[in-house]
């Protein structure tokens, strides 16, 4: 584990995306930032800007309107990035899964790395999920490097 990887694990900046959630999970996500739970002790900062974020925290199920927005925000985040889906809706669509306008969980649109079940999950569970997901950064960074290598080789071959 190098310096870069330690830094990645110790400073995950999150962006919180409310994707048609009922606000139950959102309140619990925000509760994790309060003095009571204080996620900043793990270096987690809520940045609100996809270009600065490392971890996307998605709450709620996806419908055709929000799918486009979710994909757009996800694409703006620089690699290596993680996605954490919060709540029952974040996993499967929850009680809204059978609705005519609901596609399902965020994993129907973007690759999700970790799920935190619950309706809503407790702040402790969210922090637990976030810290558990951080272990995936190493593999993600490797994948990013290989992707860049392949792209460079492809560009070379074309030239």
Partner 1 sequence: MIDNLIISLIAIVGAPIIGGLLFGIDRRITARLQNRFGPPILQPFYDFFKLLGKESIAVNQIQMMYVLSHLFFAIAALLMLVLRQDLLMLMFIFAFSTISLIIGAMSVRSPYSKIGAQREIMQMLAYEPVLLLMVFGVYKVTGSFMIQSILDYPMPLIYSLPLVFFAFLYVLTIKLRKSPFDFSTSHHGHQELIKGLTTEFSGTQLALIELTHWYDLMILLGLIALFFAQPLWVGILIALGAYFLEMVIDNICARVTWPWMIKATWLIGVGTALVNIIGLYLRP
Count CB atoms within 10 A of the CB of residue 9: 16
Q: Residues 32 to 61: which contact partner 1 by CB under 8 A?
A: 35, 38, 40-43, 45-49, 51-52, 54
In the window 60-119, what residues touch partner 1 (CB under 8 A)? Answer: 76, 78-80
State yes or no: residue 3 binds partner 1 (CB under 8 A). Answer: yes
If one asks whether residue 1 binds partner 1 (CB under 8 A), the answer comes out as: no
Nearer to partner 1 among residue 108 and residue 140 (C-beta): 140
Q: Find where tokens 């969980």 sit.
A: 105
CB of 30 to partner 1, least distance (A): 10
Helix and strand numbers (H, E) in the chain are 6, 5
Q: With CB under 8 A as the rule, give the number of residues binding partner 1.
A: 28
Contact call for residue 125 and partner 1 (CB under 8 A): no
Q: Which residues contact 17 (CB under 8 A, 6 or more apart)?
A: 56, 57, 58, 59, 70, 73
Which residues in 72-110 are b (16+ Cβ under 10 Å) and which e?
ebbeebeebbbbbbbbbbbbbbbebeeeeebbbbbbebb
Binding residues for partner 1 (CB under 8 A) = 3-4, 6-8, 10-11, 35, 38, 40-43, 45-49, 51-52, 54, 76, 78-80, 141, 144, 148
């Amino acid at each position: 584990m190098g310096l870069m990887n330690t830094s990645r694990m110790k400073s995950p900046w999150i962006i919180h995306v409310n994707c048609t959630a009922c606000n139950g999970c959102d309140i619990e996500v925000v509760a994790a930032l309060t003095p009571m739970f204080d996620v900043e002790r793990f270096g987690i900062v809520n940045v609100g800007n996809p270009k600065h974020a490392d971890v996307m925290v998605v709450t709620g199920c996806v419908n055709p309107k929000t799918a486009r927005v979710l994909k757009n925000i996800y694409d703006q985040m620089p690699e290596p990035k993680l996605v954490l889906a919060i709540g029952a809706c974040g996993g499967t669509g929850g009680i809204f899964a059978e609705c005519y306008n609901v596609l399902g969980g965020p994993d129907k649109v973007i690759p999700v790395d970790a799920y935190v079940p619950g309706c809503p999950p407790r702040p402790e569970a969210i922090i637990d999920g976030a810290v558990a997901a951080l272990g995936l950064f190493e593999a993600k960074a490797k994948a990013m490097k290989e992707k860049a290598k392949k792209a460079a080789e492809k560009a070379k071959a074309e030239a």
